């Protein structure tokens, strides 16, 4: 059997690493294709190094661009790869443009697709990622879900039950494996209590008035709770172009961090303020208070079972929730079923047995 993996952005790397390793342990032939969707060293190459993924066999080098441009380039370049490599099946991850582009190519070429992290829904079709999720799941033959809500969503959409497999969360597989290595990554000047912030979604960072207000609020929060803010390239560009760097002088701004370095901060944070999907899951496993500045989430289990609070884009709600955390009024959560570090092994058992 020949399995081809497609990755394109840093969350994909964290999901693919344990699956690749589990299949390698079963002596499955594998090819790793990197679309090049993330091309910054700290957003891409260093992740391969830290996660133990081999260097990609093929890099499509698509770079940045609009959703349409990026997706079209991946489709065009990936088709030739599939025709040359002739894989028995292709594994795609998450909900980025690389995921849906690869799935569409395979559907046209009648190559079976396995979708890792299937079934997640925000029910907000203004999100490009939601469209990617919906389309990928409709053309996939194996749908590996991280939580029971994923199974229910897929059944509601008419996906055949025998295609759906509840396996757990592969992101947690990587976290469990890498967690012991974080002790050596703690910055010497890390405060005993601090807030960790990530913002990257266009709906947030492209809204300059909102971004300005958020930065001002974070500056106020930093008077009581130091704010450490690894800045996504998109966000940094918005800050510079809008002249907002002055609004962030009270914050500890830094470049995007490699996985281990970010995980070291995350495990020790008093609170995490984010619009990321994966961080909602990681904080739930770690038991860290997470405030998600989005109106919806495709990972509702992190709010119903975990430590995630969906605060929307209301700045005053962020302020109130941070005050609650500082008073010790934190949300008590639990770890969802099958988030045990063995999801990839369950996936490999299914795929290797086909």
Question: 164 has which bridge partners?
Answer: 143
**Marked catalytic residue, from 200, 232, 247, 342:** 200
Contact 124, 133 (CB under 8 A): no
> How far apart are the C-alpha atoms of 39 and 55, rounded to whole Å?
14
DSSP states along 263-326: HHHHHH-SEEEE--SHHHHHHHHHT--EEE-SS--S-THHHHTSSEEE-TT-HHHHHHHHHHHH
| Other beta carbons within 10 Å of 296 | 15
> How far apart are the C-alpha atoms of 227 and 220, rounded to whole Å?
10
For 61, the token pair is 């080098």
Number of residues that make up the chain: 354
CA contacts within 13 A on the Cβ side of 192: 2
User: Is 200 tagged catalytic?
Assistant: yes
Q: What per-residue string of b and e applies to 271-295 under the rule 16 or more CB within 10 Å gives b?
A: bbbbbbbbbbbbbbbbebbbbbbbe
Contact 300, 270 (CB under 8 A): no
For 95, the token pair is 């909900």
For 250, the token pair is 């009270």
For 342, the token pair is 């063995």
Question: Which helix (H) or strand (E) element contains residue 114?
Answer: strand 113-116
> How far apart are the C-alpha atoms of 197 and 292, rounded to whole Å?
10
Catalytic residues: 200
């Amino acid at each position: 059997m020949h399995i081809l993996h497609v990755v394109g952005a840093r969350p994909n790397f964290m999901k693919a690493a344990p699956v690749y390793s589990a299949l390698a342990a079963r002596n499955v032939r594998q090819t790793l294709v990197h679309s090049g969707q993330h091309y910054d060293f700290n957003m891409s190459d260093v992740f391969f190094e830290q996660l133990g993924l081999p260097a990609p066999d093929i890099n499509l080098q698509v770079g940045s661009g609009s959703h349409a441009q990026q997706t079209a380039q991946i489709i065009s370049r990936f088709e030739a790869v599939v025709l040359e490599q002739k894989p028995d099946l292709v594994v795609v991850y998450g909900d980025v443009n690389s995921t849906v582009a690869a799935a569409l190519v395979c559907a046209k070429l009648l190559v079976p697709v396995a979708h890792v992290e299937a079934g997640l829904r925000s029910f907000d079709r203004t999100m490009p990622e939601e469209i990617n999720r919906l389309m990928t799941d409709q053309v996939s033959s194996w749908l590996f879900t991280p939580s029971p809500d994923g199974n229910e969503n897929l059944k509601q959409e008419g996906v055949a039950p025998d295609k759906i497999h509840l396996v757990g969360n592969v992101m947690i597989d990587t976290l469990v494996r890498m967690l012991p290595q974080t002790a050596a990554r703690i910055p010497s000047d890390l405060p005993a209590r601090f807030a960790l912030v990530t913002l990257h979604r266009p709906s947030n960072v492209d809204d300059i008035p909102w971004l300005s207000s958020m930065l001002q609020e974070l500056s106020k929060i930093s008077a009581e709770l130091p704010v450490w803010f690894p800045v996504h390239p998109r966000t940094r560009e918005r800050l510079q172009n809008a002249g907002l760097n002055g609004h962030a002088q009270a914050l500890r701004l830094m470049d995007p961090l490699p996985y281990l370095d970010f995980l070291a901060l995350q495990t020790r944070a008093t609170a995490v303020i984010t619009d990321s999907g994966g961080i909602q899951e990681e904080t739930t496993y770690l038991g860290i208070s997470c405030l998600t500045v989005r109106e919806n989430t495709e990972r509702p289990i992190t709010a119903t079972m975990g430590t995630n609070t969906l605060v929307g884009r209301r700045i005053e709600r962020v302020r109130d929730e941070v005050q609650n955390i500082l008073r010790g009024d934190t949300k008590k959560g639990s770890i969802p079923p099958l988030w045990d570090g063995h999801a990839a092994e369950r996936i490999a058992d299914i795929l290797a047995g086909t």
